[in-house]
Structure 1
């Protein structure tokens, strides 16, 4: 019997979610845990993973608004017949039974209602499974409050009655990993690819609001070490960080690409453009690091050390000008993506390596002077992480776009404006 893929509830205020992009084409094979699609909530994109392995069918269209708990696709096992969507078949069968009226046939149907599924097949959202696995909880032992008893993320959080960590407690260590950085791609697209490099304590999903404005270009997202799905590499400094990302860039084997980076990712993008000039068609730097020594070291430490939404929220709000953009649901979703203490510790180690003592230990002014491809810098004049005045160090051929009432994340705060700028140059 096929496994339904449902629209999860990641925000208590959500009644429905919009599918912004599918990462798997209809008919393709997926493995359990593979990314399936992104949903839009609170101006962010949340990635939903496959709860089972098999072949994906009956996808709803991108841009569709789907009620929470309703199926958006079905995963079929190897060799399983693919007919009409099971939900449609069930509705048809129900209508036939209703027309027939009560009697022996309906009584037999009632007798064949399947017994509750064992724990291994407990109905649960991907986020709930992720939280339960991280906490070492048996998902089958948690009572679900969602549609048809589905376990929601809030149900798992309700089981977690852990006392808050002691003040001043040192972050947990991490075991260094090896392996290539995580790379994800959009489906389809034509023309010169766009490569996106996110900032510190973020991940590839953060580009969701902007991606909708990038036209039909193929999109490739590279996640920094110890971020998203990339391994927890031990990074010794900025040059080491650039080396790792450039290795992932080179493996793409592209003839040309547009590079877009944010904050620390923008600094890495600039370094790659400097060392791979024949491959880069244009460069866009959003609130880039590397153009001056100043940086809000307290915010970096706060993001890295936060262990629960209550401590993460104030630092996230510092990233934007309009703090109302950072809703409670947004904070909870961001914290759930940082539930792994080892991930947080690895990110803190990375921050210490590239921003020792809360200072930008690398200067890319000379690299920016050498860039010959079309380059633009986009910055908010209410940035409380990196001073926007660093942009004034850019040479005259670099386009500067400075926005009032915008903080450190212009692609999140004003995605329409940033998208309009990019479309004019891509």
Structure 2
């Protein structure tokens, strides 16, 4: 009867994830669940995220307990119809754990893509590529202010199933050089154009989030032939308002107690912000040049507490396909920025979602991007 049993395993949220903590179960044993229904919360060093059921069925067994930290691929639970006996489930769990312990189930993680450093002029940029075997036009992911390439941890693996996907840390962020140049979206766009050439491609589908959305628009404006399509997620550049409490707090707060409420502005579900996430940001900001670079970006991008780079005209002039995805409860950049766009722009608004739909609504965003770029 093992063919009718579906394992529920520790998911891999991001290419670098090796383990996760089962924060909580959302359903009880015996509950019938649908494919895609959230059945548990998984906590990593980056974020807590809902785990969706891989199939429809009855949760017959919770193998892992809340609070357990387990490697990617470890057995969390078992889905099976009522017709499967408890003895068959016991045998399935025993065999799965024996094979997993022997390494048969975890071998796939050994070939996970690794970061590389790409020299772009005087700058060293940290790049993570996946799906390199796919032909066609690659996907380029541009994160926002204060972020890094791990902001795409729930998106890059899914998109890499069909496309070459390039994520990288902007200058001044993550593991890249801390020199931000003039700190303008146009300046970053010029650097990205050079990065694209260094990576051996001449055309990319661009997905930009927040400040990364403004950078994506600047890239499309200056190098339109390079940009095959634009997906803008809660982008800067389409309005004037900006939450300066977040911007200044992100730069200035140096303790978990003061930084945590600032980071919570990013999401609708505040429980997604973990202690580990906040402490990682604090450690990052202690690196030489980080705070100075962030302040440079903020000063030139948000003068007088407003967005200083109106880019609606650039969007209107761009000849390629554009879609805009926005969380309705964004506390950083108002969803009103999605109003009044050209009819050719596909706009999707996500309810009960904050500034980071790619994390809070990762499955929906992945489907939206995949269907849009083909």
Q: TM-score, normalised by structure 1?
A: 0.59
Is residue 198–residue 262 contact of structure 1 (8 Å, CA) maintained in 2?
yes
Q: Distance in 2 between matches of 1:196 and 1:402?
A: 20
How many Å apart are 1:360 and its aligned residue?
0.9
Deviations 1:221-271 (A, max 9, x none): 132110011212243233323222332233233132111010001111111
Q: Distance in 1 between matches of 2:122 and 2:253?
A: 25
Matched, 1:401 2:348: yes
Could you tell me which residue of structure 2 aligns to residue 249 of structure 1?
Answer: 196
From 203, 211, 227, the counterpart of 2:148: 203
Could you tell me which residue of structure 2 aligns to residue 353 of structure 1?
Answer: 300
Matched, 1:183 2:183: no
Matched, 1:212 2:163: no
Could you tell me which residue of structure 2 aligns to residue 425 of structure 1?
Answer: 372
Is residue 284–residue 290 contact of structure 2 (8 Å, CA) maintained in 1?
no
Matched, 1:64 2:9: no
From 330, 346, 358, the counterpart of 1:383: 330
Q: Distance in 2 between matches of 1:275 and 1:383?
A: 29
Structure ranking higher in strand proportion: 2
Q: Distance in 1 between matches of 2:145 and 2:371?
A: 27
Matched, 1:269 2:235: no
From 321, 325, 342, the counterpart of 2:268: 321
Could you tell me which residue of structure 2 aligns to residue 99 of structure 1?
Answer: none
How many Å apart are 1:324 and its aligned residue?
1.4
Q: Distance in 1 between matches of 2:13 and 2:354?
A: 25
| Distance 1:17-1:334 versus aligned 2 partners, 3 A rule | farther
Is residue 19–residue 65 contact of structure 1 (8 Å, CA) maintained in 2?
no
Could you tell me which residue of structure 2 aligns to residue 235 of structure 1?
Answer: 181
Q: Distance in 2 between matches of 1:260 and 1:20?
A: 19
Could you tell me which residue of structure 2 aligns to residue 367 of structure 1?
Answer: 314
Q: How does 1:33-48 map to 2 (within 5 A)?
A: 37-39=16-18, 41=20
How many Å apart are 1:18 and its aligned residue?
5.6
2:158 aligns to what SS in structure 1? coil
Is residue 13–residue 154 contact of structure 2 (8 Å, CA) maintained in 1?
no
| Distance 1:351-1:337 versus aligned 2 partners, 3 A rule | same
Unaligned runs of 5+ in 1: 1-15, 23-36, 47-61, 68-86, 89-176
1:402 aligns to what SS in structure 2? strand
| Distance 1:383-1:229 versus aligned 2 partners, 3 A rule | same
Please identify the structure whose Cα radius of gyration is greater.
Answer: 1
Deviations 1:258-292 (A, max 9, x none): 11010001111111122222222221000000111
Deviations 1:312-333 (A, max 9, x none): 1101111111111112233233
Q: Distance in 2 between matches of 1:195 and 1:389?
A: 26
Q: Distance in 1 between matches of 2:318 and 2:342?
A: 10
Could you tell me which residue of structure 2 aligns to residue 333 of structure 1?
Answer: 280
Is residue 365–residue 393 contact of structure 1 (8 Å, CA) maintained in 2?
no
Backbone CA RMSD of aligned residues: 2.9
Is residue 323–residue 347 contact of structure 2 (8 Å, CA) maintained in 1?
yes
Q: Distance in 2 between matches of 1:64 and 1:199?
A: 30
2:280 aligns to what SS in structure 1? helix
1:226 aligns to what SS in structure 2? coil
How many Å apart are 1:305 and its aligned residue?
1.3
Is residue 14–residue 156 contact of structure 2 (8 Å, CA) maintained in 1?
no
Unaligned runs of 5+ in 2: 1-8, 21-41, 47-70, 77-100, 103-120
| Distance 1:238-1:258 versus aligned 2 partners, 3 A rule | closer
Q: How many residues align?
A: 277
Is residue 44–residue 205 contact of structure 1 (8 Å, CA) maintained in 2?
no
Deviations 1:158-209 (A, max 9, x none): xxxxxxxxxxxxxxxxxxx942433221253413211000000100111001
Q: Distance in 1 between matches of 2:123 and 2:11?
A: 33
2:347 aligns to what SS in structure 1? strand
Could you tell me which residue of structure 2 aligns to residue 221 of structure 1?
Answer: 167
Could you tell me which residue of structure 2 aligns to residue 303 of structure 1?
Answer: 250
| Distance 1:406-1:238 versus aligned 2 partners, 3 A rule | same
Q: Distance in 1 between matches of 2:75 and 2:287?
A: 30
| Distance 1:409-1:317 versus aligned 2 partners, 3 A rule | same
